[in-house]
Structure 1
Amino acid sequence: MLRVTHGIGRRIAAATLPLLLLTACAGEQTTKVAASDVVGDWQGPGKDRITLSKDHTFVSHDLGEKSDHCPAGRNSGTWGFFVDDGASGAAVSRKAASGDRIGLSFASDDSQEFSCFVDLAVVDGGKTLCATDDPDDPCGLDVRFTRRK
């Protein structure tokens, strides 16, 4: 354990410790990207895949198998970036040109009695999309998608 005995050393330690704690707790940081930077094919764990299209539609494969609320198998829907809507805080906009969080909304038909929404955080400078259920923890569900090769 570091023992500081001089007045100036205590002040430096007092100023530095909160910064060290903040850095240790910060974890993943989101990255704001343009829509064109996320359009394409993304591979997750196992057979999980997402294809984000320029027209803000998507197709997913096996994405719902990790959720009680999302359909399994091949599905489709719309995507957009989260934006501040001024009223409730954040909403997904298919018109937003950039952002650091993406919302996937699954299409539903008459046979599905549930709706499914998946939140993806853009991290690693735009190289990774992380599934999350916590705005304070971008990779909270520990499900990562990277560009398919």
Structure 2
Amino acid sequence: MLKTPFAPAVRWTVAVLISLPAATACDDTGARTASVPADRVTGAWRAGDDTALALSADRAFTASGLNSGKLAGTGCPGGHTDGDWAFFADDGDGLYMTSPGARSGSEIGLSFTEPSDEPCRLTLTVVDDGEALCATSDPETPCDLGVRFTRKG
């Protein structure tokens, strides 16, 4: 479990290390990752009836249902939860970590306010030119959890 530099000690972050080739990967559904600016991912997103996510421009998020259905095994907090989000960026050594200063990206990490007993293994991959966010636990396979967030509305 890694803590993001912008989060207080009580916040835990989703941490996934990816290599550069993963940034342009496709999954078995043909979804292609896309690097987009932050304003393309801010707003309300929904995956089914019970899972919702809202990413704000100030890098805060609220979510519900991140521990339900296909996301149950990710270890994420359940019910209504919140925290901070950030794009993953190259740390200069070829490793990608969440960076609060990154203005664009193709992978989003969540840092939760609520502490949990285990690390939340969930990353959001920007796919379809920013039209969807795929839940993944493996950056080599952008939509491996089978959950796709689309714009609410």
TM-based fold match above 0.5: yes
TM-score (structure 2 length as normaliser):
0.74
Matched, 1:145 2:149: yes
1:24 Cα deviation after fit = 9.9
**Does structure 2 retain, via aligned residues, the 8 Å contact 1:28–1:137?**
no
Q: Partner amino acid for 1:118?
A: L
5+ residue gaps, structure 2: 1-25
Structure 1 SS opposite 2:122? strand
Q: Taking every aligned residue pair, what percent have the same amino acid on both sides?
A: 41
Instruction: Please tell me the root mean square deviation across aligned C-alpha atoms, in Å.
Output: 2.2
Measured after TM superposition, the shift of residue 51 of structure 1 is 0.4
Which residue among 83, 87, 98 is the counterpart of 1:81? 87
Larger relative contact order (CA 8 Å, sep ≥ 6): 2
Bigger-Rg structure (1/2): 1
Q: 1:56 to 1:67 in 2, by over 3 A?
A: same
* Cα pair distance change 1:27/1:62, threshold 3 Å: same
Match in the other structure for 1:14: none
Alignment of 1:44-123 (within 5 A): 44-65=47-68, 66-68=71-73, 69-87=75-93, 89-109=95-115, 112-123=116-127
3-state SS of 1:63 partner: coil
The separation in 2 between residues aligned to 1:148 and 1:126, in whole angstroms, is 14
Distance in 1 (CA, whole Å) between partners of 2:96 and 2:29 is: 22
- Preserved CA contact (<8 Å) 2:27 2:142: no
Shift of 1:26: 8.6
Deviations 1:46-69 (A, max 9, x none): 210000011101000111222341
Judged with a 3 Å threshold, the aligned counterparts in structure 2 of structure 1 residues 48 and 33 are, in CA distance, closer, same or farther, namely: same
**Does the 8 Å CA contact 1:34/1:97 hold for their aligned counterparts?**
yes
TM-score of the pair, normalised by structure 1: 0.76
Aligned in 2, Cα 1:108/1:115: closer, same or farther, shift over 3 Å?
A: farther
3-state SS of paired residue (1:31):
coil
Counterpart among 12, 28, 31 of residue 34 in structure 2: 31
CA contact (8 A) 1:106 1:117 kept: no
What is the CA-CA distance between 1:88 and the residue it aligns to?
A: 6.5
Alpha-carbon distance in structure 1 between the residues aligned to 2:67 and 2:45: 15
Give the 3 Å change call, closer, same or farther, for CA 47–24 of structure 1 in structure 2: closer
Count of paired positions: 125
CA distance in 2, matches of 1:124, 1:59: 23
